[in-house]
Structure 1
Amino acid sequence: MKIDGGCHCGAITYEAEVDPENTGICHCIDCQQLTGTAFRVTVGAPEGQYRITKGAPKVYIKTGSSGAKRAQGFCGECGSHLYATSVGDGPKVYGIRVGTARQREQLVPRRQSWHRSALPWLPEFPGMATKEEQ
């Protein structure tokens, strides 16, 4: 499925080819802190299927508890988070932030990860594949 989108202020836009079945929710503490809310919804796009069409994101490198580094791409003007991807050599998958896609209504989460960090006041999502960690 082809999607396109961008940041809140319009300084950065992108297009991507994604499989909507790979849309997921992450409840990890990093995602909670980086979004300022309870969880993050992401859909993956292989490196060759994701392209910035306008602007240039700022990148923040976050080191997780496992020691793995993740590049967090965001707009330096409005602060919208656009994606996260691995750092270093090897194939990359861009975890596109679903809220930035114009087609967000069609990107329904199918799985959730880091469920052990889910906030206790959230409702359960019945029928969704769930992992307690990643």
Structure 2
Amino acid sequence: MKIDGQCHCGLITYEAEINPENVSICHCTDCQQLTGSAYRVTVSCALTEFDLTGGAPKIYVKHGDNGRRRYQMFCPNCGAPVYTTGTGEDAAEIGIRLGTVNQRRDLAPTKQKWCASALPWSASIEGLPGSPGE
């Protein structure tokens, strides 16, 4: 599936070819802190299927629990996290942040990981009152 997207301010833009089955939710504490939310939703693709078409991201390097480095790419203007990649064998894959994908309504998560770190309420929000806007 062909997708495109951008950060909130539009400085960083991209195009990618993805498999819609590669959408996942991560509940790890790093993802919670890096997003400022309960979890992060990512769609993965091969590095060879990802093209930056706009500005250059700022890079933050974090070390995972496995000791490997992960490069967190975000917009230097608006701060939106856009994608991630790694080193060594991890460099062959890009993790695109679903909130930046223009076609995000067509992509649903197919798996979850780091569920031991999930916030206890995160699976039970369906019954909360809601409104179409604010």
Q: Is TM (by shorter chain) over 0.5? A: yes
Which deviates further from its counterpart, 63-72 or 26-35?
Answer: 63-72
Separation (CA, whole Å) in 1 of partners of 2:116 and 2:10: 35
Separation (CA, whole Å) in 2 of partners of 1:114 and 1:104: 22
Separation (CA, whole Å) in 2 of partners of 1:46 and 1:21: 13
1:99-134 CA distances to partner (integer Å, 9 max, x unpaired)?
000000011001000000000011269xxxxxxxxx
Corresponding letter in the other structure for 2:76: G
Separation (CA, whole Å) in 1 of partners of 2:91 and 2:123: 35
Separation (CA, whole Å) in 1 of partners of 2:91 and 2:37: 29
Secondary structure of residue in 2 paired with 1:84:
strand
Corresponding letter in the other structure for 1:6: Q
Structure 1 runs (4+) greater than 4 angstroms displaced: 88-91
Corresponding letter in the other structure for 1:7: C
| Structure 1 residue aligned with 2:17 | 17
Offset at residue 88 of structure 1 (A): 4.2
Q: Which runs of 5+ in 2 are unaligned?
A: 126-134
Secondary structure of residue in 2 paired with 1:20:
coil
Aligned length: 125
- Please show how residues 33-44 of structure 1 align to structure 2 within 5 Å: 33-44=33-44
Corresponding letter in the other structure for 1:109: P
Q: Is 1:110 matched with 2:110?
A: yes
Corresponding letter in the other structure for 1:77: N
1:43-99 CA distances to partner (integer Å, 9 max, x unpaired)?
001010001001000111101122110000000000000111112467511000000
| Structure 1 residue aligned with 2:54 | 54
Separation (CA, whole Å) in 1 of partners of 2:91 and 2:59: 18
Corresponding letter in the other structure for 1:63: H
| Structure 2 residue aligned with 1:32 | 32
User: TM-score, normalised to structure 2's length?
Assistant: 0.89
Corresponding letter in the other structure for 1:67: G
Q: Which runs of 5+ in 1 are unaligned?
A: 126-134
Separation (CA, whole Å) in 2 of partners of 1:14 and 1:32: 24
Corresponding letter in the other structure for 1:17: E
Task: Indicate the RMSD between aligned Cα atoms, in angstroms.
Answer: 1.5
User: TM-score, normalised to structure 1's length?
Assistant: 0.89
